[in-house]
Amino acid sequence: MQVSEIFYTIQGEGITVGQPAVFLRLSGCHLRCGWCDSKFTWDRKSGSKMKLEDIAAKIKEFPCEHLVITGGEPLLQQQHILDLLKLLPDHYVEIETSGSLDTFLNDVVHHYNCSPKLENSGNKTKLKDFPREKTYFKFVVDSAEDLSEIKEFLKEYKIDRKKVLLMPQGIGKREITQRSQWLAEICKSENLRFSPRLHINIWGNKRKV
């Protein structure tokens, strides 16, 4: 399996924000979002090639059984993920994905953090079929004008608004704070959940946090 990094932190985004978690960040992404904060993962040969047994052993070193598999786009390595999770039967598993690739991991994943790409990313994508009971949809919002596109997306794919989170685009504390102020007001008026970027607020734009 091609691995970018493994680290222990708290989940900074989405429905389990604040939850201590082991992050397995995989290498490779088929998208090229302009505001991506993990461009170092784009090359599928970046990072290190690791044996599944070594990855599982590293994950088990941490005092936590909550695993977040992210990227890049982790669904590019689905068969490896499936085999790895057989070695981690007690872990609660989240997968962070763009939702643009089909998945065959539904039986081993507890929930998906699906982040469909809007036009503000430069990579607007079509949503594949994900189990709605296990999937939360997190939209990266760059400006208030993105809301109309998000509403169209929810209507097209018949997404329950209770499963939707809006997150401010930004990789620095100042820009996230500025966008959070008006985005929070949008979330209030639209009755949608707000997602912070808690790790940025705590540690700044650093790797392995």
| pLDDT of res. 8 | 98
| pLDDT score for 10 | 96
pLDDT at 208: 83
| CA 144-196-173 angle, 5° bins | 85
Q: Which CATH class is domain 2-203?
A: alpha beta
Q: Give the Cα-Cα-Cα angle 117, 20, 164 (nearest 5 degrees).
A: 30
> Are the beta carbons of 194 and 181 closer than 8 angstroms?
no
Q: What is the per-residue pLDDT for 201? A: 86
Widest pairwise Cα distance in the chain:
48
What pLDDT sits at residue 204? 83
Q: Token pair 């540690």 is at which residue? A: 203
pLDDT of res. 84: 98
Placement of tokens 């090229």 in the chain: 32
Name the residue ranges covered by the structural domains of the chain. Answer: 2-203
What is the DSSP annotation of 35-79? T-S-GGG-STT-SEE--HHHHHHHHHTSS--EEEEESS-GGGGHH
DSSP lists the bridge partners of residue 6 as: 24
Q: Return per-residue pLDDT of the chain as tens, 209 residues.
A: 999 999 999 999 999 999 999 999 999 999 999 999 899 999 999 999 999 999 999 999 999 999 999 999 999 999 999 999 999 999 999 999 999 999 999 999 999 999 999 999 998 789 999 999 999 999 999 999 999 999 999 999 999 999 999 999 988 888 899 999 999 999 999 999 999 999 988 888 888 88
Cβ(86)–Cβ(41) under 8 Å? Answer: no
